[in-house]
Amino acid sequence: MRDVYIIGVGTTNCGRFPDKAAHILGSDAAWKAIQDSGIHPRKIEIAFCGHVYQGMGVGQRTFKEIGLVGQPVVNVEGACGSGTLSLWEAWRSIAYGQFDVALALGVENLSKILSGGPLPLEDDDVEVALGMGMPALYAMRAKRYMAEYGTTPEQFANVVVKSRKHAALNPIAQYRKQVTVEEIMNSPMIADPLTRNQCCPVGDAAAAAVLCSEETVKQLATKKPVKILGCISQSGKYNTPDKLICDPSENVARTSSMAYEMAGVGPEDMDLAEIHDAFSVAEMIVVESLGFCKKGEGAEFTDSGRTSLGGDSVCVNPSGGLLSRGHPIGATGLLQTAELVWHLRGEAGDRQVEGAKLGIIETMGGAQPAMDGITCVVAILGV
C-alpha cells in the first residue's frame, strides 16, 4: 500500500442556494481544490462524486464544467457518508497503485428538493413507512441517554452553543449567529427532547479534495501536503436488543479502531476532530464511540468545555460541525476534510487549533433501527 497525500481542497459556502444546481456548486468547489493544489487539471486520472439526491450522472455533468472529461468518473452514494465515501474511493485508487492523482468531490443541493423538515427517507423501509425520520430516531437515542446518565436538556443545548461559537469564526458556515441555551430550548420541538436548534439545518454546498501518491507529491511544489494516515469505510451490523440505542456506535468504534491501527496512533493523539453531529445528542455518543472518553461520559466531557476551541483536549468540530457549518448531505465528508486540511496547514484563521498535527474525520451515513448505520467512514490526517 502506498502513502497518499491531500494536496488541495476547495469548498463553496454552506447555505440555501436554490438557484445553484449541483453541477454549479460542484464545479466551483472542484476548481478551487485544483487551483489550491497547483496541479494541472489534465493530471487528474479519475474523479469521484459523492451525493444522495442529485440524480443521474452528477459527477460527469459537474466535471465537464471544468474540462475534466474523458477520464473515469464514479458517482458514489452512502447516505450522509457519501462525501467521505468519495474520499475513501479516491484514497484507495491511489493507495493500491491504480492511479497517481484523483479528485474527490461531494455535492448536494437540498433546497431544490426540500423547503424544510426531516430528510425524505426510503419508504420501502417499514420503519420509515410507519413514520420514522432521522430526528425521531435521534430523539429516541437522546431519551434513553438522559435516562441512563441523567443528562439534562441544558447539556444537550450546550452542544449547540459551542457549535455556534465555533461557526461564528468560520466564514463558510451556514449558521454563524451565537445562541443562548434559552433560545435553543425555546425553539420549536421537533421530536422530544430535540428542539429545532438541536437538529442540523437543510442546506446546500460542495467540497472537493485533490489526492496524489507520494511519488507525485515529491515532483510538485505543493506548499503543505497533508498525509492520509488512515482511511477506513465500514457498513453497519445488525442492532439487537442487548445493546442500548444510546450506546457508543459499534460501527463508528470498529471503523475508527481500524483507522487508528492503520495510522499507528490513538484517540489521545488527536488535536482536532470533525465528527458527525447531525443532532446535539450525536456529538456526545460519537466522542464516546471514537474513544475520546468512556461510555456514558460524552455529555460531561463535552459540557466541560474540554472539546471547545482553546480546551485542553481534542477540539471537536472547530468548523461548527453539521449543526452549524451545515449538513449538505453528500458534501459533508469533504467539508470535514477541507476543515482538517486548513487546520493542519495552519490556515484556519480565527478558529485555528494551535499547533494542530493530527486530526480525525468521522462521518456516519444513515441509520435504521435494524442496523447501526449504513456507512461509516473514518479518516486520520496528519502533517
Partner 1 sequence: MSEDTEFLTELYETKPHVHLIAGKCKKCGKYTFPKYLACPHCFSDEIEEAPLSKTGKLHSFTMVRRSMPEFRVPYGLGLVDFPEGVRVMAQIDKDYIEGLELDSDMEVEIGPVRIGKDGKDQYSYKFKPAS
User: Contact positions toward partner 1, by CB under 8 A?
Assistant: 117-118, 120, 126-127, 129-133, 135-136, 139-141, 143-144, 147, 188-193, 196, 238-241, 244-246, 369-370
Dihedral over Cα of 236, 241, 242, 248: its sign: positive
Query: Residue 190 or residue 286: which is nearer to partner 1 going by CB?
Result: 190
Query: Nearest-CA neighbor of 173 among 327, 279, 337?
Result: 327
Q: Is the peptide bond before 328 cis (omega within 30 degrees of 0)?
A: no
- Give the C-alpha separation, 86 to 103, whole Å: 9
Query: Residue 195 or residue 317: which is nearer to partner 1 going by CB?
Result: 195
Query: Residue 56 or residue 115: which is nearer to partner 1 going by CB?
Result: 115
CA distances from 278 to 2, 105, 197, 275, 380 (A): 33, 20, 11, 9, 20
Residue showing cell 425520520:
133
User: Where are the strands (E) in the chain, listed by range?
Assistant: 4-11, 46-50, 73-76, 101-109, 189-191, 194-195, 204-213, 226-235, 272-274, 315-316, 358-365, 375-382
Query: In the bound complex, what is the minimum distance in angstroms from residue 195's beta carbon to partner 1?
Result: 10
Q: What is the DSSP letter of 212?
A: E
Query: In the bound complex, what is the minimum distance in angstroms from residue 234's beta carbon to partner 1?
Result: 16
Query: In the bound complex, what is the minimum distance in angstroms from residue 120's beta carbon to partner 1?
Result: 7
Kindly report the backbone phi and psi dihedral angles of residue 311, in degrees, each rounded to the nearest multiple of 5, phi listed first.
-75, 170
Half-sphere exposure of 295 (CA within 13 A, CB side): 10
Query: Residue 131 or residue 310: which is nearer to partner 1 going by CB?
Result: 131
- Give the C-alpha separation, 176 to 169, whole Å: 7
- Give the C-alpha separation, 22 to 206, whole Å: 8
DSSP letters spanning 100-117: SEEEEEEEEE-TTT-SSS
Q: Is 80 designated active site? A: yes
Among 14, 80, 315, 376, the active-site one is: 80
Query: In the bound complex, what is the minimum distance in angstroms from residue 212's beta carbon to partner 1?
Result: 40
Query: In the bound complex, what is the minimum distance in angstroms from residue 229's beta carbon to partner 1?
Result: 33
Tell me which long-range contacts 148-152 makes (C-beta under 8 A, separation of at least 24): 148/244, 148/246, 148/296, 149/296, 149/299, 151/284, 151/299
Query: Residue 245 or residue 340: which is nearer to partner 1 going by CB?
Result: 245
- Give the C-alpha separation, 279 to 247, whole Å: 15
- Assign 279 to helix, strand or coil: strand
Query: Nearest-CA neighbor of 379 among 365, 360, 363, 358?
Result: 360
| Active-site residue list | 80
